[in-house]
Structures are given as C-alpha cells and as structure tokens.
Amino acid sequence: MADVKLSGVHKYYGNVHAVRGIDLTIADGEFAVLVGPSGCGKSTLLRTIAGLEDPDGGAITIGGAVVNDLRPRERNIAMVFQNYALYPYLTVSENIAFGLRARKTPEIEIRKRVSEAAEMLGIGNFLQRYPRQLSGGQRQRVAIGRAIVRKADLFLFDEPLSNLDAQLRDEMRTEIKRLHHEITTTMIYVTHDQVEAMTLADRIVLLRDGKIEQQGAPLELFEQPRTGFVAGFLGSPSINLIPATLKTNGPEAAVVFQSGGELTLPSAKARPLASMDGRDILVGIRPQHFSRAGGPLRDGVVSYSATADLIQPTGTRTFTTIRIGGVDAVAELQAHDVSSHGERIDLAIDLNRVVLIDPASGLVIA
C-alpha cells in the first residue's frame, strides 16, 4: 500500500515537452485514472512513475519515499500494458508465476498466490492451458493475474483493455473495479476512453498537452467542468457547443444565436453575466439535457421546436440530430420519442445545466 506524490514533474523527448510540470497527489488505496486525448502525455507520466523513464525535473514519492533514483524493480510496482505479451510456451499458471519465480519466491507460496489470483479473476479452470488456447479476455485476465500476485504497493495500468471487443471491455472494466474493491491497492489507470475513466475512477485526472487540465471525482468533472475542453472531453455523445451572443438586462440574461432565436437563462446562470452584455459565448448543452416537451415546464427549462434530422436508436435511448443556433446538435431522447427523418418535435431544454464558455479563453464562466 502506498500513496503517490508527484511534484513539478517534467519530461522531454528531445524538444518535445511531453510532461509539463505535473503536481499530483494520489491517496493510498485510491483509483486514479489519467485520461486525455492521444499524445497528451498519459503513458509518459505513467512510465515515469514506474521508473521506465527518467524525469527531467521534479520529484516522485511513493509511500513517503522519493523514488527518483530507484530502478523500476526497486519500486515495488506492478504494471499491466496494452500489449501484455504472455509467454506462449508457458501455461497460464507458469505465466502468472513467472515474476515470483524470477524473484526466487518459495514454491509453496507461489502456488498459493497463483491459485488465489486465478480464483479472484475466474481463470482457475484454465491454469494448465497455453495462452493460444484462451480468448482475448481470458488472456487479459492472465496478464492482470501476473501483476496482482506480485503484491505490489502500486498498480499501474496503461490502456489494458484497448485490444478487446466492446463487450469484453465492459466485462473486464467491471472485473477491474471489483478487483480494486477486493485488494484496495492504489491504482493508476491510463485510458483515452472517457467512459472507462468515468466508470472506474475515484478521481479523474484529465491531461491536456502534458498538463493537468482538471482533476476531481467523475461527476464533479462532468457537472462542473472548468473549461470547454473538459466539458467537451467527458460525455458521450459530446456536449453541443453553440455560438451565441449574450444579452443582459439587469439581473436577467439570454443567449442570442447568431442565426436568430434566443434562450432566456435561469437566474442562477444569469447572475455572473450581468456585466457581459454583447459578449460572444459558446453555449454548451449536453444531449441529455434535451427531452421531449410534455406538461408544464420547470424553472429554467425552455421549449424549443426542431426538426429531426439523423435518428440513431441505441435501444434504450435515441440520439437525434437537430439544428439549433445554426449548428447541428445531438439530442438524447427516449427510445420512441422520435421515429422519422423530418419529423417536427417539440423539445424541452434544461438550461439549469447549461455550460457557458468564453470562446477566447476556453474557460467556463457560468
């Protein structure tokens, strides 16, 4: 068990500044997910914690001790990579035991730990098989088993599920979450998949261009993004961003779309905007905040009439493309709310949850 502390960590590859001054504390037992677009420095940061890369500045502390000068195998870390090569000529059992044998663990202890890990991961029946005789998900479990038998202080995962099909990914995601509940070891998990990040993390650390853009509990980031980048990165389908101009009148405010039409903002949203009349703004409306209108509207909910363009049923919900403010937006409706292209639909938009972004700075202002 260990907490992890990074202070002022930098990493350059030649003149690529891959990690740009990261300060981050991960509590003992926490499940932290590093997420962000391709190339933002996730793997570099993880590899730096593991000791596979030397930082060009800053300190890395694991369990209270600075580890900058320790080699990877002196850090008591277990790591699972995307390309978790299993040894093809060793059985599942031998693959899981490999690291323990290399460390000269007594044979009786190896057998105990392998069978515990196999039990936990549901691969107890496959111990004598070879990797080629396993499905992708079973192989992935073996790779995780190989890591957990180590009883490391810290687990690092770098996109461990990205080679699996969608259903297996969902299953393994649940397994990893359950595993963390059982062994409660600190975990740092890298993914570029925002769903994986949201569902697994105690805390999401969203990286952008080598820096932390925002960190916090999944729903905190989702509901209170500090920047348009965070609002846009989390959520599927993505938040709709609609260009508009602010129109204020005392404590009241509305957004006026460049294509005509306006929406009056609820007073809590309007309040911080009092001095911003005429400012350009991006109006962020999540697909989930549209619904089919019906009955009286709650405070802060406005009606909007639209024409359904593309219709994408998912089974439980139907994503419908509509025009608003001169741009295409996606509304997430109930499965049967809309059935045909060109259909006229009366929608309600919950503006209590709208995110207003300053297009110049990218910051959320209300």
Ligand X SMILES: Nc1ncnc2c1ncn2[C@@H]1O[C@H](COP(=O)(O)OP(=O)(O)OP(=O)(O)O)[C@@H](O)[C@H]1O
Catalog residues that contact Mg ion under the rule CB under 5 A.
43
Residue from 16, 65, 274, 335 binding ligand X (CB under 6 A): 16
Q: Which residues pair with 302 in a beta bridge?
A: 349
* CA 348 to chain CA mean position, Å: 29
Three-state secondary-structure class, residue 280: strand
Q: How many CB atoms lie within 10 A of CB 30?
A: 18
83 binds ligand X (CB under 6 A): no
Residue from 6, 26, 30, 42 binding ligand X (CB under 6 A): 42
CB of 42 to Mg ion, least distance (A): 5
40 binds ligand X (CB under 6 A): yes
How far is residue 270 from each of residues 19, 274, 350, measured CA to CA in Å?
Answer: 38, 7, 14
Q: CA quadruple 241, 245, 246, 249: dihedral positive or negative?
A: negative
Q: Phi and psi of 165, rounded to 5°?
A: -75, 170
87 binds ligand X (CB under 6 A): no
Residue 281: name the closest of 364, 193, 164 by CA.
364
Q: Phi and psi of 203, rounded to 5°?
A: -140, 130
Separation CA 96–CA 150 (nearest Å):
9
Separation CA 73–CA 251 (nearest Å):
61
Nearer to Mg ion, 18 or 121 (CB): 18
Nearer to ligand X, 79 or 285 (CB): 79
CB of 76 to ligand X, least distance (A): 23
What does 192 interact with, of ligand X, Mg ion, none (CB < 5 to 8 A by kind)? ligand X
What does 251 interact with, of Mg ion, ligand X, none (CB < 5 to 8 A by kind)? none
225 binds ligand X (CB under 6 A): no
The amino acid sitting at 318 is: T
Pick the stretch among 37-45, 168-176, 289-297, 306-314 that binds ligand X (CB under 6 A). Answer: 37-45
Range 174-213, binding ligand X (CB under 6 A): 192
Separation CA 153–CA 24 (nearest Å):
18
CB of 6 to ligand X, least distance (A): 14
Nearer to ligand X, 39 or 57 (CB): 39
Using omega within 30 degrees of 0 as the cis cutoff, is the peptide bond preceding 237 cis?
yes
What does 216 interact with, of Mg ion, ligand X, none (CB < 5 to 8 A by kind)? none
CB of 43 to Mg ion, least distance (A): 3
* CA 167 to chain CA mean position, Å: 18
Pick the stretch among 13-21, 89-97, 169-177, 316-324 that binds ligand X (CB under 6 A). Answer: 13-21
Burial class of residue 108 (count of CB atoms within 10 Å of its CB; 0-12, 13-18, 19+): exposed
340 binds ligand X (CB under 6 A): no
Nearer to ligand X, 20 or 286 (CB): 20
Burial class of residue 226 (count of CB atoms within 10 Å of its CB; 0-12, 13-18, 19+): middle
Residue 11: name the closest of 211, 185, 253 by CA.
211
13 binds ligand X (CB under 6 A): yes
Pick the stretch among 12-20, 96-104, 271-279, 302-310 that binds ligand X (CB under 6 A). Answer: 12-20
Three-state secondary-structure class, residue 215: strand
Find out whether 26 and 4 touch, Cβ atoms under 8 Å.
yes
Residue from 44, 93, 95, 318 binding ligand X (CB under 6 A): 44
CB of 157 to ligand X, least distance (A): 12
What does 18 interact with, of Mg ion, ligand X, none (CB < 5 to 8 A by kind)? ligand X
CB of 219 to ligand X, least distance (A): 24
What does 180 interact with, of ligand X, Mg ion, none (CB < 5 to 8 A by kind)? none
41 binds ligand X (CB under 6 A): yes
Give me the residues that bind ligand X (CB under 6 A), please. Answer: 13, 16, 18, 36, 38-44, 192
